[in-house]
Chains A and B, each alone.
Chain A
Amino acid sequence: MAEAIVPSQDLNKAAKPAKGEETSLITGSEAIAVACKLADVDVITAYPIRPYDTVMQYVAKLNANGEMDCEYIVAESEHSQFEIVKHASAVGARVFCGSSGVGWMYAMECLTVTPSLRIPMVAMVGNRALDDPGAFGVEHNDALAVRDLGWQLVWVDNPQEALDTALIAYRVAEDRRVFLPCAISCDGAFLTHSQALVKIPSKEKVDAFLPRYNRGDLLLHPDNPITVAPQANEDWLMEIRRQTAAAMERSAGVIREAYADFERIFGRKYGNPFFEEYMTDDADVVLVGMGTLSNPVRVAIRQMREEGKKVGFVRVRWFRPFAAEELAKSLSRFKAVGVIDRDFSLGSPFHSGVLATEVRTALYPSATRPPVLGFICGLGGREVTLPDVRKMSEKVYQAAAGKSQPGTQWIGLRE
């Protein structure tokens, strides 16, 4: 395995790397690819679809340059792509895969069985619309399609977090207490194609953080003769589901451990792993959202603060497992909550997005339940603008004052 070398054309010469680190100007996709290199992933399968394909291109480049040593298999479809890594993982290989939009949906048959088989696959979803012809802008419905199936789902909002979260994802997924797949969602274009300065940790630190994948008693190997995936009918299925549920229940604790170790080893602090709070200490109302819309939201909040409006922001990172109790505890502090969904759940309660529905559910057992507004915004890659955020904040303020009915509103729509 070669030293961690960043291609010179990508180096930002002006940035001085910290000790043991190098700094590189790379996209979110490339950051994930670099994490794969650092994690010394054994098997990667690829099939192109925008915007995920930027990961496979960069992995191919790292391989071609001799910087990375993995089996790199170009499959003939997303379906085969996910099937191949599933089997590779069963025989003990650390694997990576990914897709976007309808490509992810085409792999659905493989995605559904992966959690039950307790395959700790790490996948990247370059979030993409589903798939009104030619639409490849960001929407979160692709990754959310597996939210009920036993996949751990995490959203990141910058390339550094993408790299770090990919390392954390391997650590959590491959923990024997968990053994569940994890999909890292990166907003198409906004994150997958945007370059930022990323601190690339040393291989030594990564090795200290991330033990080798040990499939243990589930290793499919002649020395450990087992049959994997025999017929599972009505006499077995409930028990299998319950086992997978128990693993997901354990995942939250393992995520906490991993973030604590990450901070100790790499010195980068993420605070609460499950969601990040911005200017919430004195906030009257908050917005909640996932992914890169955090950027305009934070900027708009700073602007509004200058006008005396105390708006805060809660960015949900881990959608599965969903930190319901913690999030409810946090959100019940505010006078009103506005959830920004870059997704939709047509016909759902209040015709909301998926996140809004989950937030409402999480808040239900709370003694204090602020009004929850749902916003559908930024679909199909449409920009979430500063005026959009201000508009949403105003509506949340109105709800706090009892002036508007909680419900779902479409923001940034031509009407």
Chain B
Amino acid sequence: MGRLYAVEIVYRGIFQKNLAKNISRAIVLAAHKEGKPGISFGRYGDSPERNGIPAKAFAIVATDDTTLEEGMAKYEPQEVDVSICVDDTLFKGVESWAWYGLQPINKLVKPNGTLIVTSLQDPETLANMAHAKDAPYKLAVVKGTASFSGLWVYKDDHSDVRILGAIARVLPELFSLESVQETIREDSNDELKATSAKRAYERLQTYTVKPGQGNQEKPYQFQMPKWTEMREGIAIPGIPVGEKITDPVDGKAGGFRAARNPTFKKWATRTMRPVVDFDKCIKCTLCWLACPDSVFDVTPEGFYDANMEACCGCGVCEAICPEPQCITMIEETHFHDNASQWEAWRKDHDGYEAWVKTTISGRPERSHGFRFRGQYEQQVPEMLTIARQG
């Protein structure tokens, strides 16, 4: 049996679908230049793919057809040589519609394999955000933000070719820089893109993540029931009525916390979460009414606390809130748990208010899909500059 190469691309559904597809296609085409057969396919994508929901694309390449067929016999590879993450908020874990649970971003990376990510964060921060692994692996950061390249009319920001250049560097057996550049030229007829790939190749630095380094939490998972254990008729239990909330300071119970599906929780689905300044809240109920996922718990004193086990980060609450800076959507990489903001505010009012002020300061207005309004106009030139400089 020959050598099998597997690469996965983890992306945010819809927004990065074409970006992921372009990368996985180019991997196969570049390897083919060196006589290796391969296939490229999507997983957890297509029709049920939703805005922002994590999904995957794969490229499987082999030294010969028989080995490739053996690699294809399993739809989704058990391990990969290279994992590519095109949105660093996914470092908290991948939570697709299909596997129901939280999958560590580095789960499929082989021992001493490489995880390539487009991010503006430093490698150590990213490594600590990801779940800990027993074996060491390498982390390679391609400097940049989560790209929309390939989505509808959005301009190419070279994210795809820079990642391809990085792959040639970390896994030269798969394909050489020359093969990838040739593929890029054939595809785009853009010499600048071939140059971007080369710069990424030349300047890539890898960071070795030690065994046990990273988030120590056990990723959330659950057992699927047997057919004899499932309720018949494609029916599932309804969500029961909720309960009162106990104030962590005075111990008084009041308000209302909706009961939620105990199995299907939200973890890495969102790219942003609402930060609530309870001092500014006028108790108008609008966030509670408008939230499509019944995220807001009513506190005993009548405030609205966004419960992070239910929030998918859509930002409707921020949009509908009439008080300036009362609810502010903040990028998910700022947070490390799903803890209650209201409890933090109750326990340490001044500390919490100071944290809110720091957290939301200078944060631009968000827009659907993008992190903030004007991101596209601002970032494409920035990314192209980064691409030219490497």
Interface residues of A (CB under 8 A from B): 116-119, 179, 217-218, 224-236, 238-240, 242-243, 247
| Residues on the A chain within 8 Å of B239, using CB | 225
B33 to chain A, nearest CB (A): 35
Is A239's CB under 8 angstroms from B226's CB? yes
Known: A239-B227, A242-B227. A229 touches B98 (CB 8 A): no
| Residues on the A chain within 8 Å of B97, using CB | 231, 233
Interface residues of B (CB under 8 A from A): 48, 97-100, 224-227, 230-240
| Residues on the A chain within 8 Å of B48, using CB | 231, 233
Is A228's CB under 8 angstroms from B234's CB? yes
A240 to chain B, nearest CB (A): 6
Is A243's CB under 8 angstroms from B98's CB? no
A160 vs B224: C-alpha distance when bound (angstroms): 49
A89 vs B225: C-alpha distance when bound (angstroms): 27
Is B234's CB under 8 angstroms from A235's CB? no
Is A225's CB under 8 angstroms from B238's CB? yes
**18 pairs of residues in contact across A and B, judged by CB atoms under 8 Å:** A116-B234, A118-B232, A118-B233, A119-B233, A179-B232, A218-B232, A226-B231, A226-B236, A226-B237, A227-B237, A228-B235, A231-B97, A233-B98, A234-B98, A235-B100, A235-B224, A239-B230, A240-B234
Q: Tally A-B pairs: CB < 8 A.
A: 61
A231 to chain B, nearest CB (A): 7
A218 vs B236: C-alpha distance when bound (angstroms): 9
CB closest residue in chain B, given A232: B234
| Residues on the B chain within 8 Å of A225, using CB | 237-240
Known: A233-B98, A235-B100, A235-B224. A227 touches B238 (CB 8 A): yes
| Residues on the B chain within 8 Å of A118, using CB | 232-234
Is A117's CB under 8 angstroms from B233's CB? yes
Is A243's CB under 8 angstroms from B235's CB? no
Known: A225-B239, A225-B240, A239-B227. A218 touches B233 (CB 8 A): yes
| Residues on the B chain within 8 Å of A230, using CB | 234, 236
| Residues on the A chain within 8 Å of B235, using CB | 218, 226-229
A41 vs B232: C-alpha distance when bound (angstroms): 24
A75 vs B299: C-alpha distance when bound (angstroms): 47
A375 vs B99: C-alpha distance when bound (angstroms): 50
A sample of 4 more A-B contacts (CB under 8 A), given A233-B48, A239-B226, is A117-B233, A118-B232, A118-B233, A240-B234
A242 vs B234: C-alpha distance when bound (angstroms): 12
A316 to chain B, nearest CB (A): 29
A229 vs B230: C-alpha distance when bound (angstroms): 13
A116 vs B231: C-alpha distance when bound (angstroms): 12
| Residues on the A chain within 8 Å of B238, using CB | 224-227
A247 vs B228: C-alpha distance when bound (angstroms): 12
A109 vs B239: C-alpha distance when bound (angstroms): 28
| Residues on the A chain within 8 Å of B232, using CB | 118, 179, 218, 243, 247
| Residues on the B chain within 8 Å of A231, using CB | 48, 97
CB closest residue in chain A, given B226: A239
